[in-house]
Structure 1
Amino acid sequence: MPIPRALLAAPLVLSLLGLGTASLPSEPHSTPAASYLPRLVVQGGAPAAALLARNSAYPPYDFYSSAGSGIRPDDHFRAGSITKTFVATVVLQLADEGRLRLSDPVDRYLPGLIRGNGNDGRRISLSALLTHTSGLSDYTDVPGAADGAGPSARVRSGTGAVRAAVARNPAPTRGIYSYSNTNYAVLGLVVQRVTGHTYATEIRHRILTPLHLDGTSLPGARTGLPAPHSRGYHRDRPEEALRDVTALDPRFAGAAGELISTLTDLNRFYTALLSGRLLPPARLRELLDTRSAQGAYGLGIYPQRLSCGITVWGHDGRIQGSFARTVATRDGGHTLTFRINTDALSDEALETGLVEAEFCPAPPPAGQPRNSQSP
C-alpha cells in the first residue's frame, strides 16, 4: 500500500492536532499505530481519534494516544457491532451448558417468527445466525431504521427488527456469508427465550460483572452516555457538515449494536475471551472457526491476515456518532482498540494501515528481540 502523502507532514500535524500520549511509567513505549491518529483526523475527516494498545510480551506496554480535541482516555462511547462478540460469547456459554445447540433451528425457540417472503425459521440454524450465513436481510437497510422514520419506525425491539427484515426478500442464498444485523437481533430473542432474561442481563451477569468491566453497559432506551464522554458526530451525505448526534435512542441497534464501552474495557474483554477465560477450549475453537463463512467471519468475531503473517481477531462497530474497532492476537496477549467520534470515516485504508502499524512493526535492530505475537 503506498504511503499516504500526509505522512510527510506528520510532525507538524502532531503539534497542530494536540496528539496526547501516555504509557506505563515502568516501561516507556510508543507505538507506530499512533502516527495514524492525526491522519484519521486530517484525511479521514474525524473530529478526534484515540487508541489504547496493550502488550504483555516484550517489551510490555500499555499505551494511550489521541489526536484532535474532545476525546479523553476514560471516555464512554458507543461500540456498535462490537456488541455481537458479547452476544456470541453468551450463546456459546449457553451451548456449553446444554441449554441450546448451535445446530438447532430458530423455530425451536421462536416458532413462526421468521416466515414468508422466502424466509423460514425452520431452515435457519443458530450457527447460521452467528456466522451471517442465514440469508436474512439486514433490517438496518430499511429506510428510517436508525431514526424511527418511514416504514421501519417500528424497529425499537428485536421482534420489530426481525419483522422488518422478513418483509424484504432475503439478501443472499442461505449458506453464503452476508453480514446482516438481523441475525443478532434474532439471537438476542433466542437468549431471552432460553434463559428467561434479556440478552443485556445475561451479558452483565456472564461477562461484565466477572471481568469488572465497569465502564461497559447496555443502555436499553437510555439516550445519553455515561460521564465522561465526548460528543458524537454524523453526516447524512459526504458533502454535508457533521452534526451532533450524541443523544441517540439505541433501541434500533439492540443485540446487534447497542453496547457502550471504553477503550480499557474492550481491550480487557478481548484479552479475556481469546485467552480462554470466558469459554472452554472447544467452544473457543468454534468461535474462531470461519469455514462456514468462507473464511470471512467466525462466531461474532472475524480475522484479518496481516502482511507480516500474523492473523488478528476482533470486531468493529459503527453506529451514528461513533466508529470503534478492537483487534487482538490469537492468545489475547496483544490488543488494540481505537475509535473516532464520528461514523463518517472517509478513508478506510487508514484503518488497515493503523492495524498493520501496531501488529507488524519494523524489525528491531540486530541483537534486540522482536515483540512476541501469536499467529
Structure 2
Amino acid sequence: MPPLRTLLTLPVCLTLLALTSTASTTPALPAVDTALTRLVTQGKVPAAALLADEQSGSRFAHAEAPTTAGPADVIRSAGAIRSADAIGRADHFRAGSITKTFVATVVLQLAAEHRLSLSDSVDAHLPGLVRGSGNDGRLLTLRALLTHTSGLADFTADSAGVVSLTPIQAVRIALARTPAERGRFEYSNTNYVLLGMVVEQVTGRSYATEAERRIITPLHLTGTSFPGARRSLPDPHGRAYDADGSDVTELDPRVAGAAGELVTTLADLNRFYAALLRGDLLPPRQLREMLDTRTAHGLYGMGLYSEKLPCGTTVWGHNGRITGSYVRTAATLDARRVLTFRVNTDAIADPDLEPALLAAEFCPRTP
C-alpha cells in the first residue's frame, strides 16, 4: 500500500447516497458535498463521512482518497469488499468526548429523580478524594464538573490520551497539578471522569451500565456501546489513523473512560441528539439546565455547547476527539435537523473546514 501521505495527494473520490422514508431520490447539496470533500483535500484526512437527518429524510455522503489497493489494503464490511480507508454508513467508530453528553444526561436524570443535586459538593459523593495542590472537593459542586468550571486540571495533559488508566489514577494525575481559577471555563476531561464515579456511587452501577439502561436501550442505539477494556471495534468498521499516519484502529478505551470511551455510529448519534433536544430523555427543567451556558460564560452548557453560524443559525451538540477519530454532531434546537460528520483521524489540517461544513448544512440556501 502506498504511504498514507502519498494517498492524500491523489484525486478525491466522493460518493453521495440519498435516502428518504419514501425511497425517493433527494438532490445532493453541492455546498455540503464540497465542504466534505475539502476535509480530504485541504484537511488532509484519509476519509470523511456525514449523515444528515431532517424531516424529508436522511442523506449520507463520504469522501476518501482512492487507492490502488491490493489484498492487504481492503477490508470486508457487511459482506462487501471496500477500501480500508472508506467510511461506511453503518461503521462503528470511537466518539471521544461525545461520551460527555451521555454522562451528563445520566447525571441530570438522577437529579430529576432527586437522587442527587447539582449543588452537591463533589465531597458529598466522593469524600476525601479531591484533595491536594490546592484542589478541594468540598468547594466544588457537580454543576462545576458538568460545566467545566471546577478548575481541575486535565489528566490527559500528562497521559496524552494514550495511557490506559483507572478512574482513580486519572484523578490522581490531575490532582498533582495546581488548579485553575474556580468558576472560569476550563475544559477538563477530569471533570467527567469524576462524574462517572459519582454515578456509580449514587446508583451502585457503572456509568456505562446506567447509560445503557437509560439511553442506549430505550432509544434502540444498536451500534452504540461502552467497550470497557476491549481494544477492537465491532464490525463493520474501517481503519483509524493518528496525525502521523500510524494505524491506531486498536485502542484501549481506558485512555479516556467516562470522558471519552464511547463507540457508536453516525445514525445512532443523530438519533440520540435528536431525542435529547426533543425532550425525550430529560424533563423540561433539566433540559433547560443542560442548555444553560451562563455558568460557563456562554461557552458550554452541561455536556452540550452551542455554535452560532455566520448566517445567524445556532446549532447545539458536541465534538469528540480520541486517538484515530474525530466526530462532530450538531442539531437545531427543535431537533428537526441534525448532522454528524466524522473523519478517521484525530487531526484536521485546516480548522476552518468544520464551521464551513456546518454552515453549508444549516444555513439558508440560495437557488
Q: How high is the TM-score relative to the length of structure 2?
A: 0.89
Residue aligning to 1:95: 111
Residue aligning to 2:366: 363
Q: CA RMSD in A?
A: 1.5
**Compared CA separation, residues 182 and 67, structure 1 to 2 (3 A):** same
Q: Give, as a single letter, the amino acid of the residue that structure 1 aligns with 2:344.
A: N
Residue aligning to 2:146: 130
| 1:177 pairs with 2:185 | yes
| Equivalent residues of 2:16, 2:28 under 8 A apart | no
**Compared CA separation, residues 37 and 14, structure 1 to 2 (3 A):** farther
| 1:258 pairs with 2:261 | yes
| Equivalent residues of 2:19, 2:57 under 8 A apart | yes
Residue aligning to 2:79: none
Specify every segment of 5 or more residues in structure 1 that has no aligned partner in the other structure, as ranges.
1-12, 149-154, 236-240, 365-375
Q: Identify which of 28, 36, 52 aligns with 1:30.
A: 28
Deviation digits for residues 71-102 of structure 1 (CA, Å, limit 9, x no counterpart): 11100000000000000000000000000000
Residue aligning to 2:196: 188
Within 2, Cα distance between the matches of 1:265 and 1:279?
18
Shift of 1:159: 1.4
Residue aligning to 2:357: 354
Q: Give, as a single letter, the amino acid of the residue that structure 1 aligns with 2:364.
A: P
Shift of 1:21: 2.5
Residue aligning to 1:163: 172
Shift of 1:23: 2.5
Shift of 1:30: 2.1
Q: Give, as a single letter, the amino acid of the residue that structure 2 aligns with 1:225.
A: L
Shift of 1:16: 3.9
Specify every segment of 5 or more residues in structure 2 that has no aligned partner in the other structure, as ranges.
1-8, 65-84
Q: Give, as a single letter, the amino acid of the residue that structure 1 aligns with 2:162.
A: D
Count, aligned residues:
336
Q: Give, as a single letter, the amino acid of the residue that structure 1 aligns with 2:321.
A: R
Shift of 1:223: 0.2
Q: Identify which of 198, 202, 207 aligns with 1:199.
A: 207
| Equivalent residues of 2:105, 2:282 under 8 A apart | yes
Aligned with 1:332: secondary structure?
coil
Within 1, Cα distance between the matches of 2:291 and 2:33?
28
Q: Give, as a single letter, the amino acid of the residue that structure 2 aligns with 1:201.
A: T
Q: Give, as a single letter, the amino acid of the residue that structure 1 aligns with 2:250.
A: A
Aligned with 2:209: secondary structure?
helix
Q: Give, as a single letter, the amino acid of the residue that structure 1 aligns with 2:274.
A: T
Residue aligning to 2:70: none
| Equivalent residues of 1:14, 1:38 under 8 A apart | no
| Equivalent residues of 1:312, 1:328 under 8 A apart | yes
Aligned with 1:19: secondary structure?
strand
Within 1, Cα distance between the matches of 2:53 and 2:307?
18
Residue aligning to 1:66: 62
| Equivalent residues of 2:149, 2:183 under 8 A apart | yes
Q: Percent identity?
A: 58
Q: Identify which of 304, 309, 317 aligns with 2:307.
A: 304
| Equivalent residues of 2:317, 2:331 under 8 A apart | yes
Shift of 1:145: 4.3
**Compared CA separation, residues 14 and 289, structure 1 to 2 (3 A):** farther
Shift of 1:14: 11
Aligned with 1:293: secondary structure?
coil
| 1:322 pairs with 2:325 | yes
Q: How high is the TM-score relative to the length of structure 1?
A: 0.87
Residue aligning to 1:48: 47
Within 2, Cα distance between the matches of 1:37 and 1:319?
20
| Equivalent residues of 1:29, 1:61 under 8 A apart | no
Within 2, Cα distance between the matches of 1:34 and 1:63?
11
Q: Identify which of 336, 341, 355 aligns with 1:338.
A: 341
Aligned with 1:243: secondary structure?
coil
Structure 1 segment 67-86 matched on structure 2, within 5 A: 67-68=63-64, 69-86=85-102
| Equivalent residues of 1:14, 1:67 under 8 A apart | no
Within 2, Cα distance between the matches of 1:67 and 1:352?
18
Within 1, Cα distance between the matches of 2:152 and 2:300?
16
Residue aligning to 1:109: 125
Deviation digits for residues 266-318 of structure 1 (CA, Å, limit 9, x no counterpart): 00000000000000111110010000000000000000011222110000000
